[in-house]
Amino acid sequence: MTQAELPAVSRPAASQPSFTQSANRRPVRVLTTLSIMALIAIACFMLIGAHKNWAFILPFRATKVLALVLVAYAIAVSTILFQTVTANRILTPSIMGFDALYILIQTVIVFFFSAQALSSTDPRLQYLLEVVVMTVFSGILFQWLFMSGNRSLHLLVLVGIVCGVFFRSLSSLMQRMLDPNEFLVLQDTFFASFNSIDQTLLGISLLIVGLASLIGLKIMPYLDVIALGRPAAISLGVPYKATVATILIVVAMLVSVSTALVGPITFFGLLIASLAHAIAGTSRHRYILPIAILLGIICLVGGQTLLERLFAFNTALSIVIEFLGGVVFIVLVLKKAMR
């Protein structure tokens, strides 16, 4: 047989980019782009309008940036983890009633002790009270779910919804009986605020978020398997009940800290989680989590920069975020209903 008659030999597969390699390049590119955008947003927030008053402005703005980054991190991680264990990209931790419980705590203080007590209470004491109450509430809920019988995770979500409705109804009842002037003071706490951050509270928040992150690192290898569902996770050897309980504890800690630090932001987690899944091109948590965190930083830091420099504080950042997140929520619900 001559050389011309020999069958054509295909090129080695190693010389051609495999499907896995090409699939991994997209999230890496997305991460690189988002990292650059986040650094630009932080630089713009720190430097625009400084007018060389570096000694005062840089430390002041650095505190706000740290708070924004911390809140973005806490909300992004808690939302992605909660959606993983519930296998639903519409649900967020706020569905468990954390935001409603925060508003109820503020309302109870004003109702029984007056608005002056709310404004004059030591911020550190109030912060710790809110974190402890929200964490204990979630702990009792998880204890009842996992330690008192083999109950469904969907039952946890349903109980969270019912508790949220109960907290909102009780808050609304007490608010109707308040003096109008006291209600105005109380109403300011219903919206997240990034303009005045207590450095002491920020330090405590960093410690709690750091502890939650260390706990979360231990269950990181199981997240992709947990996302496959309970039967698949158990068949692959994952300690499902203990892992899900750990994830929910981490979620409770992160949500409690972010809510107590700046106030409730109901739809922000849904907004950045949906964007992360849309642009990542993968469902692996090693990519989804950092992408969601970077999106949160860009939204909060970039949005606060536009609010302060362009709109001169004419609106609140949380109102804009809630509007956009609400639109995303409606779109996701309609998309799921049309399938």
User: How much is the mean pLDDT over the chain?
Assistant: 79
pLDDT in tens, 299-336: 888 888 887 777 655 556 666 776 666 677 677 667 66
25 assigned to some structural domain: no
1 assigned to some structural domain: no
Distances (CA, A) of 121 to 114, 129, 181: 11, 11, 18
pTM: 0.81
Distances (CA, A) of 321 to 6, 15, 169, 304, 317: 66, 47, 24, 11, 6
Range 25-44 average pLDDT:
89
Which band of pLDDT confidence, cut at 50, 70 and 90, is reported for residue 12?
very low
> Nearest CA to 318 among 282, 274, 246, 269?
269
Q: Are 88 and 227 in contact (CB under 8 A)?
A: no
Q: Are 161 and 95 in contact (CB under 8 A)?
A: yes
User: What number of residues does the chain have?
Assistant: 339
How far apart (Å, rounded) are the C-alpha atoms in residues 243 and 239?
6
How far apart (Å, rounded) are the C-alpha atoms in residues 318 and 108?
23
Can you give the CATH number for the domain in which 213 is found? 1.10.3470.10
Give how many domains the chain has, as a whole number.
1
136 assigned to some structural domain: yes
pLDDT in tens, 47-62: 887 777 777 778 878 8
21 assigned to some structural domain: no
- Structure tokens of 267? 């739809």
Which band of pLDDT confidence, cut at 50, 70 and 90, is reported for residue 39?
very high
CA count, 13 A, side-chain hemisphere, 305: 21
How far apart (Å, rounded) are the C-alpha atoms in residues 119 and 110?
9
Q: Could you please report the per-residue DSSP string of 305-324?
A: HHHHHTSTTSS-HHHHHHHH
272 assigned to some structural domain: yes
Domain containing 118 equals 54-338
How far apart (Å, rounded) are the C-alpha atoms in residues 218 and 239?
13
How far apart (Å, rounded) are the C-alpha atoms in residues 134 and 257?
9
Model confidence at 21: pLDDT above 60: no
